[in-house]
Amino acid sequence: MSDPDGEERPSRFTGTPRELVLRIAEIIADTPASNTLVLDIQALSSFADYFVICSGDNERQLRAIARDVTEQLADQEVRPGRTEGAADSGWIVLDYGDAIVHIFNVDQRAFYRLEALWAEAPTLLSIQ
C-alpha cells in the first residue's frame, strides 16, 4: 500500500486477537525481556482476551521493551488505546484492547504476582 507521496506504507494489522498477542510475544522475544507469559483470560475477563507479562532487569530494558512493541506494532498501524506507568516506576502497561501488555521490573512483578492472581487462566505461551 502506498501513501499519497508514493512511499510504501505497511498494511494495517487485520489479524485476530490471538494473532495480535502472538505478534506481541514475537516482538518481545527479540528484546532483553525475560520470563514472558501469554495468558488467555477470555473465560475470566470481560475487558480483555489476553495478558502478556514480561520482565526487564532495569529501567533501560523496560523502556526498550515498551518502545520495540509500540514502534513495531505502529508500523502495522496498531497503537495502544492507552499506556500507563513508566520505566522508573517498574511497571509499564500497554493496552491494545484485547491484549494488555504488562512490562515489569523483577521486584514489581514479584510484588504484584499477576500470574498468581490469574492462575486459572491457561498459558498460551511461555518464553524463558
Q: What domains does the chain contain, in order, with CATH numbers? A: 17-118 (3.30.460.10)
- pLDDT, tens digit, for every residue of 12-44? 667 899 999 999 999 999 999 999 999 999 999
Provide the pLDDT for residue 115. Answer: 95
Residue 57 phi/psi, 5° resolution? -85, -20
pTM: 0.88
- pLDDT, tens digit, for every residue of 58-78? 999 999 999 999 999 999 999
CB atoms closer than 10 angstroms to residue 64: 17
